[in-house]
Amino acid sequence: MVHRSCVSTLLAGAAAMLLLVPQGALQAAKTDINVEYDKSFSFAGLKTWTWHPEGKGKVLLALTAENDPKKVADRVDPIIIPALEREMGARGFTIAAASPDLYVHYYVLGTLQNSTQVQGQFLPSVTEWAVPPFLASTTATRTYPVGTLIVDVTAPAQQKLVWRGTAARKIQIDRPDAERRKVLEDAIRELLKKFPPKK
């Protein structure tokens, strides 16, 4: 598994965050949930956790000069922190003041993705004479933000990452704040349903 000190480097090229545009919000398209964990690590008997000593969370953006990670953090931290504490508690894990079994840390990542439409892409690939109807050519390119929330769980005793959950979703603008909050809280709930992993 990946050592905690390497995580920031590995995440530098990852996709975007769930809450990104200050005046916008999220909705619609489905949130993609993915979980990975160290199958050699035993979660049996572990009941305590705390936030990682390096911090509770971090925002990393790869968008435009106008996007300020601090401003984004001010918006997402008040949603993510209590949601993670609530969901960890619902799974029987309590916050320990000292010597926790696990550390938790999250990342909110931001970047842009492109969607390209090619002329004829929705037509059959060949005609009845086995000749393409016309040469493929790009007719439209659309750029949009996609968001990813990453939740990492590390084992301090072994000093290694033992569980990672990611929730990625296309960002849609002009949705109310209440919907944005619900999307993020629902994503955290779905992620933590898979923690601890069942073998």
Report pLDDT for 75.
Answer: 87
Taking residues 74-92, what's their average pLDDT? 95
CA pair distance 191, 8, nearest whole angstrom: 21
φ/ψ of 57, rounded to 5, equals -160, 170
Report pLDDT for 17.
Answer: 37
Instruction: Specify if 136 maps to a domain.
Output: no
Taking residues 168-190, what's their average pLDDT? 81
Instruction: Specify if 149 maps to a domain.
Output: yes
Instruction: Specify if 94 maps to a domain.
Output: yes
Q: What is the CATH number of the domain that holds 93?
A: 3.30.160
pLDDT digits (tens, 9 = 90+) for 12-64: 333 333 443 333 333 345 888 999 999 999 999 999 999 999 999 998 876 55
pLDDT digits (tens, 9 = 90+) for 182-198: 989 999 999 999 999 98
CA pair distance 26, 185, nearest whole angstrom: 12
CA pair distance 146, 79, nearest whole angstrom: 19
Instruction: Specify if 91 maps to a domain.
Output: yes
Instruction: Specify if 127 maps to a domain.
Output: no
> What own/partner pairs with CB < 8 Å and gap ≥ 24 does 124-129 have?
none
Instruction: Specify if 133 maps to a domain.
Output: no
Kindly report the pTM of this predicted structure.
0.70
Instruction: Specify if 198 maps to a domain.
Output: no
Instruction: Specify if 77 maps to a domain.
Output: yes
Taking residues 109-137, what's their average pLDDT? 48
Domain count, the chain: 1
Torsion over CA of 194, 5, 77 and 184, rounded to 10 degrees? Answer: -30
Domain limits for position 57: 4-122+144-192
Report pLDDT for 33.
Answer: 94
Range in 7-11, 45-49, 113-117, 157-161 the model is least confident about: 7-11
